[in-house]
Amino acid sequence: MKAAETTALPDARGRFGRFGGRYVPEVLIPALDELTAAWEELQDEPAFRGELEALLRDFVGRPSPLTFASRLSDRLGYRVYLKREDLNHTGAHKINNTLGQVLLARRLGKGRIIAETGAGMHGVATATACALFGLPCVVYMGEEDTVRQAPNVARMQLLGAEVVTVTSGSRTLKDAMNEAMRDWAGSVRETHYVIGSVAGPHPFPSLVRDLQRVIGDEAKVQFRDAEGRDPDAVVACVGGGSNAMGIFAPFVGAPGTRLVGVEAGGRGDADGEHCRSLTLGAPGVLHGSLSYLLQDGDGQVLATHSISAGLDYPGVGPEHSYMKEAGLASYVSATDAQALEGFQALGELEGILPALEPAHAVGWLLGGPLPEGSTVLVNLSGRGDKDMETVRRALGEPPSDRPRRA
Amino acid sequence: MPDLEAALRARRDGGGRAFVPYVTGGLPGVDADLLRGLEEAGADAVEVGIPFSDPVMDGGVIQEASRLALEEGTRPADVLATVKEAGLSVPVAVMTYFNPVLSRGPGDFLADAAQAGVSGAIVPDLPVDEADDWITACSKVSIAPVFLAAPGSTTERLASIAASAGGFVYCVATYGVTGERDRLAGTAQEVVLALRPLTDLPLLVGVGIGTPAQASEACAFADGVIVGSALVRRLVDGDPDGALAMAGKFRAAIGPA
């Protein structure tokens, strides 16, 4: 009964229970109506599906593999499988969404694409989709993130996108999204805004979930092939929450499978030191939907911190808020230090350098939170190339131009 | 407290056009004296912003004003206290985003506002479809719920906005966010003309009215204008006298007070 309940959401007003909705200026409402109608019409249209599926197979390289993490499993006493979204073209799950949305934008006749980005993976994936279809692309990125994720700025530029550095507010993902929404308010007739997470006003939370559920649909089949059953736990990091919604989707409400979202615990529980919207925030409205939000007593949005730019966001997608309150998923956190431990463990035990975002999911697992013998599916949502400098600095290594040891 | 709709209607019925200046509450220089100065400069109503950390409907000037106000430690209650202290004889509308309202609770937020003498409330990220509870809460304390109409709003939506709005309808002149523009957008007139057959409420144009000449141009088809960034820019620059002088020029351009 729970599975049916969740696939029916959101309702016609874009609500997941009390969460979601469309809290945006009037000027954007017509575009949201148009997008909602287009997605309802196209998501099951054979030509559209065929075009998207061909791109996911031939351009992205789907299906992505499911890797049994044998040495990590031995260490933890679990059977851990990694869904390898890091092996997608562009290096993360984000491309699943951007190709779908850019195809939609083409059907809507929109000739210009904008996006926000934190870690840069969504920006790269959007720039890639735009290059593929010859569409102009503008990506908004907070100044702090352009520094800590510099390789991705270069990638976007080489793909032909214009990267706009956002210097307002905290100069991270939240502010990039503010600026993208301001652009969209002025350009909405000719521009589609490719939101990168299951956040924003309706229909984005369900649109992005639907485009990302290919992760979970593949993983469910792959896991059954490997273990003959569904996993005891599905674990994914949660910033806005698109990789988590994507892998959770086919398991929601399934008895026997626990869904665990891991938020960025940053440096601790004090205000401004973390990104734990679901575990320390309260319901509020930011970027167009009602969801858990880190805010002060007057409703001002709080600053956040995470070692991972992709999780450095004070809000979260509204369906996660619904799943938390409905008991359909549980939400925990991993600190910067735990994420670094997760990063190192995957590197040393499995030969995989993950992005710092999914390293939070691995870092949480290292604490041994599940019963001995549990089978675990982890969404390895992206690869770690972009994070090399951040990790080296955090681990106290000298910079990359250090002399070679004899 | 003065009735927002009645005040704007009276101006229209007298053959005049309304001038509604906007200032960001809590910005240094925006005190009770400044609000009184705006009334003396001929404002028919004054719009006072309660600053929010993430003002997505606002361009650079009001973003900066909001940031400076929050940096001063401005809280919603401080802005309302300034409104109360000013004790204007023209109506005051507060403008803020939905999260500060939700955080206090819409009923309590409006009760606080009413207590301070506020007559209207503008929440640009609360479109009419999400506003049922808000409208009910507004009616309980006789605060007019002002809604925005925008270029691109369908006739059905405009009808719904007109039916739900109180005080006046805020006709957004152009695609985009607040801030001065080189010229008045053609969309301003389209929005006003589309609304006219649907409502008798005063129709005021705002967003992008940067000069007295543009204000005068808009007043050829609208019942008045809302002017924000052109005044706030001077306040951000630490020039409240310049802001008041500018308000006087807008007033003069659209007709005598």
DSSP reduced 3-state for A366:
helix
User: Nearest Cα to A316, choosing from A247, A385, A243, A375?
Assistant: A243
What is residue A7's predicted lDDT score, i.e. its pLDDT? 60
Note the pLDDT tens digit of each residue in B185-242.
999 999 999 999 999 999 999 999 999 999 999 999 999 999 999 999 999 999 999 9
Distance to chain A for B153, nearest Cα, Å: 6
Contact A168 B67 (CB under 8 A): yes
Burial state string for B228-239 with b = 16 or more CB within 10 A and e = fewer than 16: bbbbbbbbbeee
Contact B56 A21 (CB under 8 A): no
Q: CA nearest A181 in B: which residue?
A: B56
Q: Which of A64, A83, A110, A116 is catalytic?
A: A116
Which DSSP letter does residue A151 get? Answer: H
Q: Are A346 and A359 in contact (CB under 8 A)?
A: yes
Q: Which of A94, A110, A220, A386 is catalytic?
A: A94
Note the pLDDT tens digit of each residue in A388-401.
999 999 998 655 55
Q: Which residues of chain B make contact with A300, given a CB cutoff of 8 A?
A: 52-53, 70, 99-100
Contact B148 A286 (CB under 8 A): no
Beta bridge pairs of residue A147 = none
When computed from its CA atoms, the radius of gyration of chain A, rounded to whole angstroms, is 20
- A253-277 average pLDDT score: 97
Q: Which residues of chain A make contact with B75, given a CB cutoff of 8 A?
A: 298
Q: CA nearest B66 in A: which residue?
A: A169
What is residue A2's predicted lDDT score, i.e. its pLDDT? 39
User: Nearest Cα to B62, choosing from B49, B76, B45?
Assistant: B49
Please give the interface size between A and B, counted as residue pairs whose CB atoms are below 8 Å apart. 116
Note the pLDDT tens digit of each residue in A141-197.
999 999 988 999 999 999 999 999 999 888 999 999 999 999 999 999 999 999 999
Mean pLDDT, chain A, rounded, equals: 95
Retrieve residue B163's tokens.
């039916």
Candidates B52, B58, B96, B103: best to mutate against A (most CBs of A within 10 A) is B103
Please tell me which of the candidates A24, A178, A285 has its beta carbon nearest to residue B99: A285
Q: Which residues of chain B make contact with A188, given a CB cutoff of 8 A?
A: 152, 175
Q: CA nearest B70 in A: which residue?
A: A300
- Three-state secondary structure readout of chain B: CCCHHHHHHHHHHCCCCEEEEEEECCCCCCCHHHHHHHHHCCCCCEEEECCCCCCCCCCHHHHHHHHHHHHCCCCHHHHHHHHHHHCCCCCEEEECCHHHHHHHCHHHHHHHHHHCCCCEEECCCCCHHHCHHHHHHHHHCCCEEEEEECCCCCHHHHHHHHHHCCCCEEEECCCCCCCCCCCCCCHHHHHHHHHHHHCCCCEEEECCCCCHHHHHHHCCCCCEEEECHHHHHHHHCCCHHHHHHHHHHHHHHHCCC
Nearest-10 crossing angle of helices B106-115, B132-140: 30
Instruction: Name residue, tokens 């979204």.
Output: A85
- Three-state secondary structure readout of B28-44: CCCCHHHHHHHHHCCCC
How far apart are the C-alpha atoms of A74 and B144, rounded to whole Å?
Answer: 66
Q: Are A192 and A183 in contact (CB under 8 A)?
A: no
What is residue A322's predicted lDDT score, i.e. its pLDDT? 98
What is residue A4's predicted lDDT score, i.e. its pLDDT? 39
Retrieve residue A211's tokens.
């485009």
What CA dihedral angle connects B184, B237, B75 and A176, to 10 degrees?
A: 60
Q: CA nearest B58 in A: which residue?
A: A182
How far apart are the C-alpha atoms of B173 and B186, rounded to whole Å?
Answer: 8
DSSP reduced 3-state for A54:
helix
Contact A298 B148 (CB under 8 A): no
Contact A30 B67 (CB under 8 A): no
Note the pLDDT tens digit of each residue in A288-329.
999 999 999 999 999 999 999 999 999 999 999 999 999 999
Please tell me which of the candidates B53, B154, B161 has its beta carbon nearest to residue A30: B154
What is residue B185's predicted lDDT score, i.e. its pLDDT? 94
Beta bridge pairs of residue B92 = B46
How far apart are the C-alpha atoms of A318 and A96, rounded to whole Å?
Answer: 20
Distance to chain A for B21, nearest Cα, Å: 20
Q: Say if residue A240's pLDDT is above 90.
A: yes
Residue A197, Cα to own-chain centre: how many angstroms? 5
Q: Are B107 and B61 in contact (CB under 8 A)?
A: no
Distance to chain A for B257, nearest Cα, Å: 31
Contact B176 A189 (CB under 8 A): no
Q: Which residues of chain A make contact with B172, given a CB cutoff of 8 A?
A: 25-27
Distance to chain B for A278, nearest Cα, Å: 16
Return all residues near A188 (Cβ < 8 A) that are at least 6 apart.
Answer: A27, A28, A30, A31, B152, B175
Retrieve residue B37's tokens.
């100065």
How far apart are the C-alpha atoms of B224 and B70, rounded to whole Å?
Answer: 30
Told to judge if A2 belongs to the known catalytic residues of this protein, a careful annotator would answer no
Q: Which residues of chain A make contact with B104, given a CB cutoff of 8 A?
A: 298-299
Please tell me which of the candidates B56, B102, B147 has its beta carbon nearest to residue A284: B102
Residue A1: band (very low, low, confident or very high) from pLDDT cuts 50, 70, 90: very low
Distance to chain A for B126, nearest Cα, Å: 5
CA distances from B182 to A73, A106, B178 (A): 64, 32, 13
- What are the start-end ranges of the E strands in A196-240? 233-237
Told to judge if A319 belongs to the known catalytic residues of this protein, a careful annotator would answer no
The domain spans of chain B are 4-254
Contact A29 B148 (CB under 8 A): no
Contact B103 A185 (CB under 8 A): no
What is residue A211's predicted lDDT score, i.e. its pLDDT? 98
Largest CA distance in chain B: 45
Q: Are A119 and A126 in contact (CB under 8 A)?
A: no
Contact B152 A27 (CB under 8 A): yes
Q: Are A223 and A66 in contact (CB under 8 A)?
A: yes
Residues 165-224 of A with CB under 8 A from B: 168-169, 174, 178, 181-182, 185-189
End-to-end CA distance of chain A: 64
Q: Say if residue A46's pLDDT is above 60.
A: yes
Please tell me which of the candidates A25, A288, A290 has its beta carbon nearest to residue B124: A25
B132 touching A, CB under 8 A?
no
Contact B154 A297 (CB under 8 A): no
Q: Are A337 and A315 in contact (CB under 8 A)?
A: no
Instruction: Name the class of domain B4-254.
Output: alpha beta
Residue B96: band (very low, low, confident or very high) from pLDDT cuts 50, 70, 90: very high
Long-range contacts at A396-403 (CB < 8 A, ≥ 24 apart)? none
B133 touching A, CB under 8 A?
no
User: Nearest Cα to A21, choosing from A34, A5, A31, A10?
Assistant: A10
Q: Which percentage of chain A shows pLDDT scores above 90?
A: 93
Note the pLDDT tens digit of each residue in A59-97.
999 999 999 999 999 999 999 999 999 999 999 999 999
This prediction has a pTM of 0.96
Contact A178 B54 (CB under 8 A): yes
Residue B29: band (very low, low, confident or very high) from pLDDT cuts 50, 70, 90: very high
Question: Active-site positions of B?
Answer: 47, 58
Note the pLDDT tens digit of each residue in B129-188.
999 999 999 999 999 999 999 999 999 999 999 999 999 999 999 999 999 999 999 999
B84 touching A, CB under 8 A?
no
What is residue A402's predicted lDDT score, i.e. its pLDDT? 53
What is residue B152's predicted lDDT score, i.e. its pLDDT? 93
Sheet of A79-84: strands edge to edge?
Answer: A66-68, A79-84, A375-380, A233-237, A258-266, A330-335
Nearest-10 crossing angle of helices B76-86, B106-115: 30
Q: Say if residue A21's pLDDT is above 60.
A: yes
B59 touching A, CB under 8 A?
yes
